[in-house]
Every structure is written in structure tokens, then in C-alpha cells.
Structure 1
């Protein structure tokens, strides 16, 4: 007997272990997995090999948290398009499609992090500097001073 090919970030046993949900079916996990894949833009069958262990764990947890939350949302796939309602943007993109713990797991994915680059300041990052204020006179000895007029 051959085992079926795995196609989801989590399995029913993961859901039961992480959420204490009872009688979790493969169908529920597949539906929750499809929702999480749509949110994060990473399909299990296409991206498993190139997804790091930490990201696989966060995806496993996001799917596991999604299953019991979807059980409590019987109209999940039939809701109105809330993007057309006034003020819906204030709720955040994931608020109405993902449970709170699932949102936390998704935020921890490596590709969902900040895209900004940290710039280093010689006033803040240089070791042994007496003041972090760049305008403080005590920092003058650390600067290169040249007289006005080019001498």
C-alpha cells in the first residue's frame, strides 16, 4: 500500500495537536490550506523544497489555526466582498479571513517581513562614543575639523 502524496502544509494530526480540535478531516485541512496559500502566495506542491524549515513551521501553524476558525465561520466562502464597503479597510486585510493566531504566524514568515534597510549612524553605532546626540559638543573630538577658507 502506498501513502498518498502530501499536498498541504499541515495534516489533521497537526491541527488536533496545536488547537485541540476534534475529528479534523482531510477535507477541512485542504480547505484551510487553500486559504493560507492564497494569503501568503506560496503553494505547497510548488514551493516545499525551496521553503525553509522555519517558514514551513509557521505555515503549518497558520493552517492548523485556520481549521477551527473556519468551522466557526459557516458562511466563510459566501460572504460579501467587504472591500466594497465603506470603512472596511480599517479592519486590515486579514481580519475577516484569518484567525488572530494565524495572522501572527503569517507575519513571522521570512518573506512577509519589513523590506526597509537599516542604515547605521556613526553617532549611534560607534563604540565608545560619549553621546548619542550628533549635535552634542562632547562629540566634537570625534569629528574631522578644517578651518574655513581652505587652510
Structure 2
């Protein structure tokens, strides 16, 4: 049994590709590098994230099975040969596109920005306009209840 977020059977079920355990181990290593998570920490990962990691490993295993030697690829920014020009980016073509999509859905890969409601947004404790003084026209005096008539 391979320590991976997906099994060879799950790879076949998800992608219809048949992979060996060696290819599955390679895909697991690739996903671990890009996700910054390791299989040994699976018990500390949320079930939803484990689902996306399983898909990422399955898609990566199927994609890598159709690639030639991933370990000796160039990470070039420009190459030209026989009139064809290729411009590749950082870590060029070492993660499958569907594996990348699955990884982007993991909770720690999403944006960490937090929206803080301003005083002007609906539901504010300040009322309609927080810039109006309490003596202003917006705050009319009303007698307190329970007093004499």
C-alpha cells in the first residue's frame, strides 16, 4: 500500500487512466511539493481539503503518466528552434492543469484577506450616518418611557 492521498483504483475511477504504484508515489511527491502538506499530516487536514488533495494526486498521476521525464525539464523563459518560439514561466509544466485546479481549492491556498465591515455598511451600530453628531437633526429627543404623562 502506497502512502498517498489517492489509490491506483481511485486514479482510474476519477481519470480513467491506469497508473502504477511508482507513478502514484511520484504524483504524491509532486502534490506534496506544491501543496506544502505531507501525507504523514493527513490526520490534521480537514476532510474537504483531503478530498481536493485526493483529486490533485489522481489528476497529477494521470497527467504525469502521459509526460516524458519530468525530472530533466527546462524552466526556461524563452526558447526558439526552427521558427517555433516557446516562452515558459516559473516551474514550467511540472504540475498538471487539473491538479493545479484541485490544489487551488484547498483552504490554505485561497486568499487570506479578511473583510472588515465599515461603519457605513448596513447593520452598523451607528445608525444611518456615523458622522452626524448626537446633537444633530438625525437624533431627535424623545422622552424616556415610564415617566409621567
C-alpha root-mean-square deviation of aligned residues, in Å? Answer: 2.3
Structure ID, larger Rg? 2
List per-residue Cα deviations over 1:97-123 (Å, max 9, x = no partner): 222211111011111111211111233
Q: Which of 4, 15, 21 is 1:19 aligned to?
A: 15
TM-score scaled to structure 1, two decimals?
0.71
Whether 2:28 is the aligned partner of 1:33: answer yes
- Displaced runs of 4+ in structure 1, greater than 3 A? 86-89
Equivalent in the alignment of 1:77: 71
Whether 2:7 is the aligned partner of 1:8: answer no
CA distance in 2, matches of 1:113, 1:53: 16
User: Which of the two has greater strand per residue?
Assistant: 2
Whether 2:104 is the aligned partner of 1:107: answer yes
Native 8 Å contact 1:32 1:66 kept in 2? yes
Whether 2:133 is the aligned partner of 1:145: answer yes
Native 8 Å contact 1:18 1:64 kept in 2? yes
Residues 119/94 of structure 1: CA separation in 2 closer, same or farther (3 Å cut): farther
Number of residues paired by the alignment?
A: 124
